[in-house]
């Protein structure tokens, strides 16, 4: 099948790799120096944990081609840049468009695409559990993932129809890549930030290096997420994936999460690829997501989140973060 991956960061490139492995006709949209490297050298990915390097040769383009048609489109962009690509996505002839990544405005984005679409489209939202960074000197991408990875995916609200689910499942063939269908992706994307933002806060508090974190800070991180999940429950927001909040509560799952935090702190390479690299390079996205999530927390001001507030207070303010990481870039 013909597939377009709109965006060539870590997540988009790994997604393109899996789709190529499943023998689809894959087009990857990229920009600038990275586009040139992809066209010259192909899509080279160093899979860190798996200790292997793969090479794929998707077709690489720099912009939407007029009258091009695809069986599916995956738009993989940071939240702060997704708004700018909604009009181009609406102009693409494709029955399925999946917006992949953090998103606190999914309803608005869906409405905008459908309002200007040149054809009937099914809009879905997804989140893929991969991380890593580009290595421009070597012209390759370094990817951190567990197994073949997967994508949590679904409609804004309600279940995707059987035909759409079947088409998307067929895209990934026998690669082992899983599609975990969720019943309410708007709720899922809100819940995801309850888990992610405390990691972000601690990464910034430790100047982009989790090896400098203390056991007390890592416990505070889990307690902050626990408070946020409780706040979401109090607002009637379903916890998705179901039961995810248990990883921040007392018990075996909570201990597993605390161990994962410990591993991220003590194994610098993993901590960088999983969290810190993204915080350094996507600080604009993280600031926007933080601002949006604060509005969710503010809906129930009578319910305090002291651990959340204590952890967040340890990081620099967003003005200082912008100055630091803009200068480093």
How confident is the model over 179-190, as pLDDT tens digits? 999 999 999 999
Res. 285: pLDDT tops 70? yes
Q: What is the pLDDT of residue 329?
A: 54
Per-state percent for the chain, helix, strand, coil, to nearest 5 = 50, 20, 30
Beta strand 43-47 pairing with 52-56: antiparallel
DSSP notation for 156-184: SSSPPPHHHHHHHHHHTTTS--EEEE-S-
- If asked whether residues 213 and 279 sit together in one domain, one would say yes
Q: Name the nearest CA neighbour of 257 among 236, 243, 269.
A: 243
Q: Is the pLDDT of residue 328 over 70?
A: no
Nearest-angstrom CA–CA distance, 263 and 39: 37
d(CA 125, CA 103): 9
* Boundary of a domain, candidates 183, 205, 231: 183
Quick one: 240 and 303 in the same domain? yes
**β partners of residue 140:** 135
What is the average pLDDT across 198-221?
A: 96
Q: Do 162 and 255 sit in the same domain of this protein?
A: no
Nearest to 274 by CA among 177, 202, 217, 225: 202
The whole-number pLDDT of residue 21 equals 97
> Does one domain contain both 178 and 245?
no
The answer, as to whether pTM is greater than 0.85, is: yes
Q: Give percent of the chain with pLDDT exceeding 70.
A: 99
C-alpha distance from residue 109 to each of 79, 82, 232, 294 (Å): 11, 8, 22, 20
173 and 196 in a common domain:
no
In this model, does residue 316 exceed pLDDT 60?
A: yes
Indicate whether 205 and 315 sit together in one domain: yes
The residue among 144, 159, 183 that closes a domain is 183
What pLDDT sits at residue 138?
Answer: 87
Residues 14 and 141 placed together within one structural domain of the fold: yes
Which domain, by its residues, includes 235?
187-328
**Do residues 222 and 144 both lie within one domain?**
no
pLDDT in tens, 221-279: 999 999 999 999 999 999 999 999 999 999 999 999 999 999 999 999 888 988 999 99
Residues 175 and 192 in one domain: no
| 150 shares its domain with 235 | no
Mean pLDDT for 47-76 is 94
Residue 109 pLDDT grade (very low, low, confident, very high; cuts 50, 70, 90): very high
Joined together, the tokens standing for residue 102 give: 């953090």
CA 276 to chain CA centroid, nearest Å: 14
For residue 258, give Cα distances in angstroms to 87, 190, 216, 249, 265: 42, 22, 11, 10, 11
Evaluate if residue 142 carries a pLDDT over 70. Answer: yes
| Number of domains forming the structure of the chain | 2
Of 129, 156, 183, the one marking the end of a domain is 183
E strand or H helix at 313, and its extent?
helix 306-313
Average pLDDT of the chain to the nearest whole number: 95
Query: Which pLDDT score, from 0 to 100, does residue 314 have?
Result: 98
Q: Do residues 128 and 216 both lie within one domain?
A: no
Residues 242 and 270 occupy one common structural domain? yes
**CATH number (domain holding residue 59):** 3.40.50.720
Contact 99, 151 (CB under 8 A): no
By the 10 Å C-beta count (0-12 exposed, 13-18 middle, 19+ buried), 94 is classed as buried
- Tell me how crowded residue 291 is: count the other CB atoms within 10 A of its CB: 11
């Amino acid at each position: 099948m013909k597939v377009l991956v709109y965006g060539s960061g870590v997540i988009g490139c790994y997604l393109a790799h899996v789709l190529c492995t499943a023998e689809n006709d894959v087009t990857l949209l990229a920009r600038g120096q990275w586009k040139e490297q992809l066209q010259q050298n192909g899509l080279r990915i160093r899979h860190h944990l798996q200790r292997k390097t793969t090479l794929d040769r998707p077709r690489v383009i720099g912009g939407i081609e007029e009258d091009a048609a695809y069986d599916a489109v995956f738009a993989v962009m940071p939240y702060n840049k997704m708004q700018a690509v909604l009009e181009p996505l609406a102009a693409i002839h494709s029955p399925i468009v999946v917006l992949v990544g953090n998103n606190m405005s999914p309803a608005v984005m869906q409405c905008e695409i459908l309002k200007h679409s040149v054809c009937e489209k099914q809009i879905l939202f997804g989140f893929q559990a991969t991380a890593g960074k580009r290595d421009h000197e070597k012209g390759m991408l370094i990817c951190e993932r567990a197994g073949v990875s997967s994508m949590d995916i679904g409609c804004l609200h309600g279940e995707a129809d059987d035909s759409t689910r079947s088409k998307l499942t067929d895209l990934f063939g026998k690669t082992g890549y899983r599609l975990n269908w969720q019943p309410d992706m708007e709720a899922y994307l809100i819940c995801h930030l309850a888990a992610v933002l405390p990691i972000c806060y601690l990464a910034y508090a430790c100047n982009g290096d989790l090896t400098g974190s203390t056991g007390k800070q890592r416990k505070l991180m889990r307690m902050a997420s626990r408070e946020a999940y409780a706040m979401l429950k109090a607002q009637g927001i379903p916890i998705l994936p179901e039961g995810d909040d248990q990883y921040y509560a007392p018990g075996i799952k909570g201990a597993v999460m605390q161990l994962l935090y410990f591993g991220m702190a003590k194994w610098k390479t993993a901590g960088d690829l999983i969290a810190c690299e993204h915080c350094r390079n996507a600080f604009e996205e993280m600031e926007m997501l933080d601002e949006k999530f604060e509005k969710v927390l503010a809906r129930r001001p009578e319910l305090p989140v002291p651990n959340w507030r204590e952890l967040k207070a340890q990081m620099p303010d967003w003005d200082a973060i912008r100055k630091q990481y803009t200068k480093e870039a």
